[in-house]
Each structure stands twice: as C-alpha cells, then as structure tokens.
Amino acid sequence: MSWQSLIIIGSGAFIGAILRVKSIEYINAHLSYAIPLGVIFVNIFGSLLAGGVLAYFTHFNPYYLKSFLMTGLLGAFTTYSAFAIESIFLLNNIKLFSIYVLSSAIGSILFAFIGYKSILFLIIRNQ
C-alpha cells in the first residue's frame, strides 16, 4: 500500500475517531441510561452510513475517496460498520452468515472477557 493511501486512510481515521468520541460524549450527556446509548447510536448510525457509501461505490469507484470514507472515517467512527458490510456480503449463504455473525459477536465478547480477566489476574497477583 502506498504512503498516499496510508495518509488518506489515516486522515479519515483521525476525523472518524474524533467524531466517535464527541458523538458518544454528547449522547451520553443528554440521554443517561443504564446501557451505553452513545455507543449503540454510533454503531447503528455508522452502519447506516457504511451501507449508503457502499451503495455509492458499487457504481462509482474513486479509490482514494473510498479509502478515506470506508476504511478511515467510518472504520474509526464505528467498528460495527465493517462488521455490517461483511455480513451483507454473506447474506446469500445463511450458513456462512450465521457462522460469521455468531462467532464475531460471541467470540468478541468472550475474548474481551478473557483479556480483561487475564490482565486483572496479573495485576492482582503482582500487587
């Protein structure tokens, strides 16, 4: 991958990460609830945007704009956008779709839990 591509993706990621933090901060400040509504909003709205951008790039393919928006901006704004788009590509095979969705969701939660408990164990053990 060229340096130009990396700079374009990185620029989009910089903007996407800031938008993510500010969006979550704003929503959580105005809609206090027991579950993280800001994160839910960012993931759902980012997936909506990713679907629209994907539809656009089905007909037009400006490589750098696609890299900036899809990989950079939306990739940093929400990790769910990539998950949602990959899921769309698997919809024609319900078995692969199910395996992908279930293993992604359950596997991510399971391994986040394992990582959390492992580091917590090491911290407590070394105190």
Highest mean pLDDT among 10-14, 44-48, 57-61, 100-104: 10-14
Quote the pLDDT of residue 102. Answer: 94
Is residue 41 a contact partner of residue 99, using CB atoms and an 8 Å limit?
A: no
Looking at per-residue pLDDT, the higher value among 81 and 66 belongs to 66
Residues recorded for the chain:
127
Query: Is the Cα dihedral 20, 26, 28, 29 positive or negative?
Result: positive
CA pair distance 59, 5, nearest whole angstrom: 21
Q: What does the alpha-carbon distance between residue 119 and residue 123 come to, in Å, rounded to a whole number?
A: 6
Tokens of 109: 């939660």
pLDDT for the residue 17: 97
Residue-wise pLDDT for 19-65, tens only, equals 999 999 999 999 878 788 898 899 899 989 998 998 898 888 888 99
